[in-house]
Amino acid sequence: MRATTIHAPGDIRFEEVPDPVIEEPTDAIVKVVAGCICGSDLWPYRGANDIDAGSTIGHECVGVVEEVGSAVKDFAPGDFVIVPFCHCDNTCAHCAAGVQSVCDNLGFTASGQGEYSRVTQADGSLVKTDGMPDDSLIPSLLTLSDVMATGWHAAVAAGVKQGGTAVVIGDGAVGLCGVLAAAQLGAERVIAMSRHEPRQEIARAFGATDIVAERGKEGGERIAELTKGIGADAVLECVGTDESMKTAFAIARPGSTVGFVGVPHGVELPVRRMFQKNVGLAGGMAPVRRYLPDLLDRVLSGAIDPGKVFDLTLPMSESPEGYRAMDERRAIKVLLQP
């Protein structure tokens, strides 16, 4: 098959690789209908993560089941499925506790930007739709494989509740989905920190009531003004840098929780401030499968339309251009079609 691969920082290719095959009886092979590029794919692209030269890249996709292993009971070829980027048996103690991203049998999508992808623990991981969804729904369904579930996890971890103020740090696709999640979970005021007009527009469409364009210290001062000096009831940290984390703890009100979902890079947590202000931290890698049924209902009912985060669609063969567009912030998020 053909798939997107990474060879070195900045060196993305779309090329022939071995077809994924059933390796365990619990596996399924999914023919990708749509994949996309994640903000976290930019870490290796920019040289911030180690690279296994020539390996496939891409962990978000939806598709049609092509083949299942002998132990797979709930899925059959032809099923349209959402593939969580982290695969899970959905039965172990961690899954039962809602932490499917730490499953005893954890696996990851490895060729979501390719023609086929192998899903481990298919029965536990996958969620299917009734029949083939309408083409117009594909982008929103695709976001459920990671980005929307991750934004949702940030909001849940931050303890967003009915009423109150939520601040979202980061206007990437995850941050924008965090805005949508905070609004859906009932935050009365959702403040998006964003400097970019097109992203501000999506944030507003997703339910942001206020936009703060300032960053760092000035951003903190604006949030303090907007919250009458009290701070935010919930903060969603959707970036993963030390600066964004510092901002998060600066604006969180005492007793609140920073929900974090950006893979931390160079973050030093301000433990003294956390202690003095009683501000907690929760979150991490999103347990996608936990949220999938609920999020699928919300997409199918039209309650949410997270597919709006895709502002560029390319043929999969042009994935290298997709990476460039996201790296240069010419695109928020790129959808790839086989």
**Which spans of this chain sit near a second copy (rule: CB under 8 A)?**
93-94, 97-99, 101-102, 157, 230, 253-255, 257, 260, 263-264, 267-269, 271-272, 274-285, 287
CB of 177 to a second copy, least distance (A): 18
CB of 269 to a second copy, least distance (A): 4
CB of 17 to a second copy, least distance (A): 28
Beta bridge partners, 107, equal 87
CB of 201 to a second copy, least distance (A): 30
Identity of the residue, 70 or 276, whose beta carbon is nearer to a second copy in the bound complex: 276
Identity of the residue, 171 or 237, whose beta carbon is nearer to a second copy in the bound complex: 237
What count of other Cβ atoms lies within 10 Å of the Cβ of residue 311? 16
Identity of the residue, 92 or 203, whose beta carbon is nearer to a second copy in the bound complex: 92
Identity of the residue, 275 or 328, whose beta carbon is nearer to a second copy in the bound complex: 275
Identity of the residue, 74 or 243, whose beta carbon is nearer to a second copy in the bound complex: 243
CB of 61 to a second copy, least distance (A): 23
Identity of the residue, 25 or 255, whose beta carbon is nearer to a second copy in the bound complex: 255
Identity of the residue, 149 or 335, whose beta carbon is nearer to a second copy in the bound complex: 149
d(CA 72, CA 6): 31
3-state DSSP of the chain: CEEEEEEECCEEEEEECCCCCCCCCCCEEEEEEEEECCHHHHHHHCCCCCCCCCEECCCCEEEEEEEECCCCCCCCCCCEEEECCEECCCCCHHHHCCCHHHCCCCEECCCCCECEEEECCHHHHCEECCCCCCHHHHHHHHHCCCHHHHHHHHHHHCCCCCCCEEEEECCCHHHHHHHHHHHHCCCCEEEEECCCHHHHHHHHHCCCCEEECCCHHHHHHHHHHHCCCCCEEEEEECCCEHHHHHHHHHHEEEEEEEEECCCCECCCCCHHHHHHHCCEEEECCCCHHHHHHHHHHHHHCCCCCHHHHCCEEEEHHHHHHHHHHHHCCCCCCEEEEC
CB of 277 to a second copy, least distance (A): 6
CB of 249 to a second copy, least distance (A): 12
CB of 271 to a second copy, least distance (A): 5
Identity of the residue, 162 or 301, whose beta carbon is nearer to a second copy in the bound complex: 162
Residue 255: CA atoms inside 13 Å, Cβ hemisphere, count? 2
